[in-house]
Amino acid sequence: MSKTLFERICNRELPGDIVWEDDLVVAFRDINPQAPVHVLVVPRRPIPRLSDAKPEDKELLGHVLLAAAKVAEVLGLKNGYRLVLNTGHDAGEAIPHLHFHLIGGRRMRWPPG
């Protein structure tokens, strides 16, 4: 099975503007930002999408959420941010590797889309 684009960025096989990382998660700037701050928070171990997550992924998923909060802090998003997870084609999922979009630096509107 071939590696996903995000696995290759996490492994430094492809360039990415990495803003934060630890042993389990890498956060890097989106190449098509939708706000002044738009970072992807990606687990190093690929899970294709949330609907494919298993009970044994619980700890990793929790870690990814806590990592997203840390990235927001590091990036100075004191007034708030949005965390978006797309699952499936209709939701706009483009890469089958679970990831969160951390979006901020401007006021968000509701409904989102």
Q: What tens digit of pLDDT does each residue of 50-81 get?
A: 999 999 999 999 999 999 999 999 999 999 99
The answer to the question of residue 31 being in a domain is: yes
Domain-embedded: residue 113: no
77 lies in some domain? yes
Please choose, from the candidates 97, 93, 99, the residue with its C-alpha nearest in 3D space to the C-alpha of residue 68.
99
| Residue 110 belongs to some domain of the structure | no
Task: Clarify whether 99 is annotated catalytic.
Answer: yes
How many angstroms separate the CA atoms of 73 and 78, rounded?
Answer: 7
Residue 1, judged by CB atoms within 10 A of its CB (0-12, 13-18, 19+), counts as exposed
In a domain, 109, yes or no: no
The confidence band for 113, taking pLDDT boundaries of 50, 70 and 90, is: low
Range(s) of the domain holding residue 56:
5-104
Strand ranges across the sheet with 25-29: 18-21, 25-29, 37-43, 100-104, 81-84
**Of 38, 97, 99, 101, catalytic:** 99
Let me know if residue 97 belongs to a domain: yes
Nearest CA to 28 out of 11, 51, 46, 10 is that of 10
- How would you classify the pairing of strands 100-104 and 37-43? antiparallel
Q: Is residue 20 assigned to a domain?
A: yes
Report how many domains make up the chain.
1
CATH number at residue 14: 3.30.428.10
- pLDDT confidence band for 111 (50 / 70 / 90): confident
Whether 112 is covered by a domain: the verdict is: no
pTM of the model: 0.94
